[in-house]
Amino acid sequence: MKRAALILAVLAACTPKIYDTADVAERSAADVASCQFIGTVRGIPAVFGPLKDIGLKDARRAAKVKAKEVGGNTVVFEPIPEGAEVYDVPAKVYAC
């Protein structure tokens, strides 16, 4: 069990750059008041359970990629309740 936790920690520490999405910013709802709303996109986590944090990061990155594809440069993610099982990560897309 300790070895699996160590492997997960190393993976999480070594992969932050792959989650960067150039040209798409993450903002709060208050920050996009003067921006043009484009629509909603969703990212789907590919892994769950002990790897859920990696799955959430990947789902957020996927949502940002989709936002860029539809012409947005800013996303506002819906809050995720603490401890909730997450099967999709919705985000509102804006052009700011």
Q: Give the domains, in start order, of the chain with CATH numbers.
A: 25-95 (3.30.1660)
Per-residue pLDDT of the chain (96 residues; tens, 9 = 90+): 455 544 444 455 444 545 567 789 999 999 999 999 999 999 998 887 888 888 888 899 999 999 999 999 999 998 888 877 888 999 999 999
Q: What is the pTM of this model?
A: 0.76
Q: Look at residue 6 in the predicted model and tell me its pLDDT.
A: 44
Distance CA 89, CA 94 (A): 16
Q: What is the rounded distance in angstroms from the CA atom of residue 32 to the CA atom of residue 29? A: 6
DSSP letter string, 25-37: EE--GGGGTTSEE
* CB contact at 8 A, 47 and 5: no
State the pLDDT at residue 82.
Answer: 81
